[in-house]
Amino acid sequence: MSGGGRQLWRYDATTNRGTRTGAITRSSPTVVDGTVYVGSTDRYLYAVDTTTGDRRWRYGPGGAVETAPSVADGVAYVTADGDLHALDAATGDRRWTYAVGDAVDVSPTVHDGTVYVGNCGVGADRLDAVNAATGEKRWEYVAATGIHRSPTVAEGTVYAGSEGVLFALDTATGEGHWRATIPPGHSAPAVGAGSAFVGSRAGLYALDATTGEERWSVRPDEAFRGAPTVADGLVYAGSGGDRLYAFDAATGEERWRFGTGSSVASSPTVAGRTVYAGERAGALVAVDAWTGEERWRFETEGPVDTAPTVVDGTVYAGSHDGYLYAVGAVGDRDWSSRDSRVLAGTLGHHDRRDPAGPPGSPDDHTSGTVTRVHDSGAPGCCSHCGTDLSELTAPSFCPDCGAALGDR
């Protein structure tokens, strides 16, 4: 893809220079108002300029920041060392701190003035709903075991899980709608197409979002650590079996699989017609979301376990090598992540709330080609989205929607 997979900048979370240190960036990035928010094991949350990669501020919550921050209404929320911190998103100044418990290893999710955060401390296995403005507790739900995965909110329901159990609660009261038993070691849930999707050590599961009844499950021989995500009627998920999958959201039918060469622990994201995911071997990979064909690959110096976020044609992702990377996704065009995980604000998000994708569907465009519109063989515009291509020299992909332009 023209312009795809090219490093724009990288930021070292511990020195603010281009030198490598021993810190690890496990925190998935959140991108809002031209700023990337990301945490590091060096015990800081960083705010970095999206254009230059320069640091705007940093905040030390007292412990390693390994969860994704969430930003809403000018406030950045982050968990570390058993506490939930609310910061001024522009300056990093602390507004309030809420004591969650002994151990918090999940990212906070903010929805409609409430922050949802789980705890897995001794004797405090619960999900808390906290007033986003004041830091006061609204309600709590006590689980059987610790909550190790980030909650997801959709249609007045918060979905979260403890070991071997996924449950759905009323966002206003915390009252339970349903709970379902699934294999242990499950991922954060993703909600879309009427289902709640969750990965486990023994396959990927789709549960009815209203009742919790199992709709389908696949690949019981593989572990799915990263949260799945939904776009265009497909569920995308990476596995410990060195594969990235696309399944039909309604039936669980496998549409395609892509061999990554190493396990995929990060949650994928979809922007335009491309799905992006990180690999444990140290790479960010871009794959055609409808065909499973590789578009490009960007190598890092350490595992990429964080969930990438795409904003305005740039992919942001952290790595165990200590760097936050900004990588050109589809030239200078402005596609952004539009999948269910990012739009719900689970494990990183952005402020581009436009879920629209390229025209058509995976079923309509399985060949990945578009028709010629000039006798000369040079397409004048993309037949998928109408982008003017007349000034480009033999483009292979549309720089706007990512559609393959076929043989010319």
Same domain membership, residue 382 and residue 240: no
| 242 within some domain | yes
CA pair distance 134, 150, nearest whole angstrom: 21
Same domain membership, residue 381 and residue 301: no
Q: What average pLDDT score do residues 80-98 get?
A: 95
CA pair distance 208, 213, nearest whole angstrom: 5
Same domain membership, residue 242 and residue 115: yes
Say which CATH number the domain at 233 has: 2.130.10.10
Q: Which residue has the higher pLDDT, 300 or 261?
A: 300
pTM across the whole model: 0.86
Give the lowest-confidence range in 225-229, 297-301, 376-380: 376-380
Bridging pattern class, strands 214-218 and 229-231: unpaired
Q: What average pLDDT score do residues 17-30 get?
A: 66
| 110 within some domain | yes
| 405 within some domain | yes
| 88 within some domain | yes
Same domain membership, residue 189 and residue 50: yes
The pLDDT assigned to 235 comes to: 97
Question: What's the N-to-C CA distance of the chain in angstroms?
Answer: 16
Count the domains in the chain. Answer: 2
3-class secondary structure per residue, the chain: CCCCCEEEEEEECCCCCCCCCCCCCCCCCEEECCEEEEEECCCEEEEEECCCCCEEEEECCCCCCCCCCEEECCEEEEEECCEEEEEECCCCCEEEEEECCCCCCCCCEEECCEEEEEEEECCEEEEEEEECCCCCEEEEEECCCCCCCCCEEECCEEEEEECCEEEEEECCCCCEEEEEECCCCCCCCEEECCEEEEEECCEEEEEECCCCCEEEEECCCCCCCCCCEEECCEEEEEECCCEEEEEECCCCCEEEEEECCCCCCCCCEEECCEEEEEECCCEEEEEECCCCCEEEEEECCCCCCCCCEEECCEEEEECCCCEEEEEECCCCCCCCECCHHHHHCCCCCECCCCCCCCCCCCCCCCCCCCCCCCCCCCCCECCCCCCECCCCCCCCECCCCCCECCCC
Instruction: Give the domain extent around 401.
Output: 367-408
Please give the distance of CA 55 from its chain centroid, rounded to a whole number: 22
- 215-268 pLDDT, tens digit per residue, is 999 999 999 989 999 999 999 999 999 999 999 999 999 999 999 989 998 899
Assess whether pLDDT exceeds 50 at residue 177.
Answer: yes
Same domain membership, residue 371 and residue 298: no
| 361 within some domain | no
Q: Are 258 and 287 in contact (CB under 8 A)?
A: yes
Per cent of the chain over pLDDT 70 is 81
135: exposed, middle or buried (C-beta count within 10 Å: 0-12, 13-18, 19+)? Answer: middle
CA pair distance 6, 14, nearest whole angstrom: 23
Same domain membership, residue 384 and residue 304: no
The pLDDT assigned to 16 comes to: 53
| Token pair of 22 as six digits | 């021993």
- 382-393 pLDDT, tens digit per residue, is 544 445 556 555
Assess whether pLDDT exceeds 70 at residue 326.
Answer: yes
Task: Provide the mean pLDDT of the chain.
Answer: 84
Assess whether pLDDT exceeds 80 at residue 22.
Answer: no
The pLDDT assigned to 402 comes to: 45
Residue-level length of the chain = 408
Q: Are 60 and 68 in contact (CB under 8 A)?
A: no
Same domain membership, residue 371 and residue 317: no
The pLDDT assigned to 297 comes to: 95
Same domain membership, residue 173 and residue 294: yes
Same domain membership, residue 387 and residue 317: no
357: pLDDT confidence band, cut at 50, 70 and 90?
Answer: low
| 354 within some domain | no
Q: How many Cα atoms are found within 13 Å in the side-chain-facing hemisphere of 35? A: 24
CA pair distance 120, 160, nearest whole angstrom: 13
Range picked from 302-316, 357-371, 388-402 for highest mean pLDDT: 302-316
Per cent of the chain over pLDDT 90 is 61
CA pair distance 252, 215, nearest whole angstrom: 9
Assess whether pLDDT exceeds 60 at residue 46.
Answer: yes
| Token pair of 272 as six digits | 């335009």
Give the lowest-confidence range in 46-55, 58-67, 110-119, 267-276: 58-67
CA pair distance 84, 67, nearest whole angstrom: 11
Q: Are 406 and 397 in contact (CB under 8 A)?
A: no
Range picked from 15-29, 100-114, 191-205 for highest mean pLDDT: 191-205
Closest CA to 118 of 133, 107, 131, 132: 107
Same domain membership, residue 401 and residue 336: no
Residue 164 CB coordination number (10 Å): 15
Same domain membership, residue 308 and residue 243: yes
Q: What single letter denotes the amino acid at residue 321? A: D
- The CA-CA-CA angle for residues 256, 258, 261, to 5°, reads 160
| 350 within some domain | no
CA distance readout (Å), 30 to 308, 309, 337: 9, 7, 11
Same domain membership, residue 262 and residue 172: yes
Assess whether pLDDT exceeds 50 at residue 380.
Answer: yes
| 1 within some domain | no
119: pLDDT confidence band, cut at 50, 70 and 90?
Answer: confident
